[in-house]
Amino acid sequence: MFNSRNPAFRYPTGAVANCLPVHFKIDMPRDLHCSAARLLVREDSTGETQKLDMFWCGMNGDNHEWWECHFAAQRPGLYFYHFEVTTWRGVMQMHRAFGGTDTMSPEAKDDWQLTVYERSFHTPEWLVGGVMYQVLPDRFFRSGKPKTGVPADRTLHGSWEEEPEWKPNSRGEVTNSDYFGGDLAGIMEKLDYLKSLGVTCLYLNPIFEAHSNHRYNTASYEKIDPLLGNEEDFRLLCTEAKKRGIHVLLDGVFNHTGSDSVYFNREGRYPTQGAYNSQNSPYSSWYNFCSWPDDYECWWNFKTLPDVIETNPEYDQYINGSKGIVRHWIAAGASGWRLDVADELPDTFLDNLRTAAKMENPDALVLGEVWEDASTKSAYGKRRRYLLGDQLDSVMNYPFRNAILGYLLGHDPAKMLEIIMNVLENYPPQVVRLLMNHIGTHDTERALTVLGGEPTGDHGRAWQAQQKLTPEQRELGLKRLKMAAVMQFTLPGVPCIYYGDEVGMEGYKDPFNRGTFPWGHENEELLSWYRKLGKLRRLLSCLKEGTFTPLKADDHTLVYVREDSIDAILVALNAGENPYALYLPDEWRTAEPVFGEAPDRNSGIHLHPLSVTALVRQKRPSPSGPFPLGKPETPEEALESIKDKIMENIEQEPEMKDELMDFLKKIQKKT
């Protein structure tokens, strides 16, 4: 009778701009003798409910009839709705069921959600259709460039191949004070490697001065950590990255600082008077002391991470002011901020941060760490308004991670698809196109370990430290990881590779998921897979903002299509242990396979166990003929492919760098 995802029943579907009329239609069976119908819409922020009368508007065949009405929300926000119909059986309620459909069960209480965003909401164009890459700077690459001002109390590993320190010290503390020496200059040396993966956005975990290897305990927002380099190194990295079409995204940790910081100075490292040292400190009003100096609010009870009062005017001005931290580092070359624990940042602070970023650069990206459905997230007893147009541009997409890994580990494909569809229905399209689609981060187990190994469960660090995938587990994990990567790169949003996933790194939780990149020991087959996916992102228009249409989700199989007016891709996955024959719609019979096998003579494809097939078709004729995964469409694309191949060869044979670069210059000159 109703389906919120079908434009025949609700147009437009998905989130809508404020003041835009939404057309609702329900299809009532004639034998119910419906005499009246109403749409009931509750505004979440006020709790007020509107009742809109629906009007009979015609027959749908002989046995059904249409009832319709329009609703336009004047204010951005969340609205929840259901239907009420008067029938010969009395007044009946129609509520939401699985898949966006309806039910009249008396037990049903779920309403449909309508997200209404500010009609002027705009998000940056530069990330659309791109590829993100996340780097933990200490563990990516060490340049060997001399550093000055590095604190003497830091422990540097003697070998890049050693395991991160995980055992508590003599006081039973895990201090995260061991370093491998990766730096900004090292990242700059590997920009061509990132370019070969198709990376367009480099997301850096914190780079500001801090006294731990993860640097989430900021010591000074004004300085680059001396082990990583200095501001000049950062500016140069941003400049060189942009030459390759890569934007740099910074990690903003604004909910708390380190206790060992210029601002708090509990450890007495700095000559300044921090909030811990003096109640007359210029920073004392930034923190909430229950009893000064030792009893203070801190993040998740970690005494080394004192909470900041973000609504404090001096702190807000320091971060978001015209000469504040947000604007300074964007002016220095950053293209935006990823906000740590965004759900713990107050609305007013987020509003001001967005304003500061966009004032410095209208195309700056503001992306938040939110683990749940960000459209309905509540924190501290209040519904958050991250995605309504005046705070975040987009979020980290943990729901997609749960759906991808869950499907590949044997969970019901229909339920995993429902996670994806709910996000697409609830989030504004401007947000969806920039979703950070990751399958692992510094806060989670490595995807390969999840897909091939034993669940972490309640096992502690001692157990995790001993675990390495067996050859059989690794083989299984690699098959699943390839499938996960295809989903990650073809679902709506932007794929984000966690450094080293593309070459087969494994590891359980922190610090085992934060090992050093295995330069010289990469899984070349997996790396080629990722490079092919990166090229697919660059060539296919439909992977930018194309529609998403699910075709099948059962029996361990998942099939969907991304499509726009230029091209389309069909992705078919079999996560089961048995082969599967899949019938194809007519328009896909002559499509070109980019992964898996071509359709057979019976217009189907054969899905092997734990495999993926992806077919591409062009909807507009191209002068160069079929889809050019191996044959670029234009001379410019041809040159780009040659450059990518040369960079791959330089990575594999560094001693050939000068000769290969000379060859590239000759080709560029001829072109």
Same domain for 296 and 404, yes or no, is: no
Determine the pLDDT at residue 169.
84
Same domain for 80 and 181, yes or no, is: no
Same domain for 19 and 162, yes or no, is: no
Same domain for 592 and 480, yes or no, is: no
Report the candidate in 389, 378, 355, 395 with the shortest Cα–Cα distance to residue 75.
Answer: 389
Instruction: Calculate the CA 364 to chain-centre distance.
Output: 17
127-168 confidence digits (pLDDT tens): 999 999 999 999 999 998 999 999 998 999 999 999 999 998
The CA distance from 559 to 574, in Å, is 9
Structure token digits, residue 345: 């940042």
Residue 627 reports pLDDT greater than 80: no
Same domain for 409 and 513, yes or no, is: yes
Structure token digits, residue 462: 């001692």
End residue of a domain, out of 539, 566, 595: 539
Q: Which residues span the domain enclosing 595?
A: 545-618
- Residue 643 pLDDT grade (very low, low, confident, very high; cuts 50, 70, 90): confident
- Looking at per-residue confidence, does 427 or 169 come out higher? 427
Same domain for 496 and 429, yes or no, is: yes
Could you tell me the pTM of the whole model? 0.92
Same domain for 348 and 240, yes or no, is: yes
**Catalytic residue selected from 225, 369, 510, 644:** 369
299-321 confidence digits (pLDDT tens): 999 999 999 999 999 999 999 99
Residue 610 reports pLDDT greater than 60: yes
End residue of a domain, out of 85, 117, 149: 117
Check if 153 is active-site: no
Domain presence at residue 173: yes
Check if 351 is active-site: no
Residue 625 reports pLDDT greater than 50: no
Determine the pLDDT at residue 259.
98
Per the CB < 8 A criterion, the answer to whether 72 and 369 are in contact is no
Mean pLDDT of the chain: 94
C-alpha distances (whole Å) from 538 to each of 199, 200, 486, 490, 566 are 10, 10, 14, 12, 14
401-414 confidence digits (pLDDT tens): 999 999 999 999 99
Residues contacting residue 199 through CB under 8 Å, at least 6 positions apart: 130, 131, 132, 133, 246, 497, 534
560-603 confidence digits (pLDDT tens): 999 999 999 999 999 999 999 999 988 898 899 999 999 887 77
Total domains present in the chain: 5
Determine the pLDDT at residue 215.
98
241-287 confidence digits (pLDDT tens): 999 999 999 999 999 999 999 999 999 999 999 999 999 999 999 99
Residue 632 reports pLDDT greater than 50: no
**Catalytic residue selected from 209, 233, 307, 340:** 340
Q: Look at strands 289-291 and 247-252 and give their pairing.
A: unpaired
Same domain for 318 and 220, yes or no, is: yes
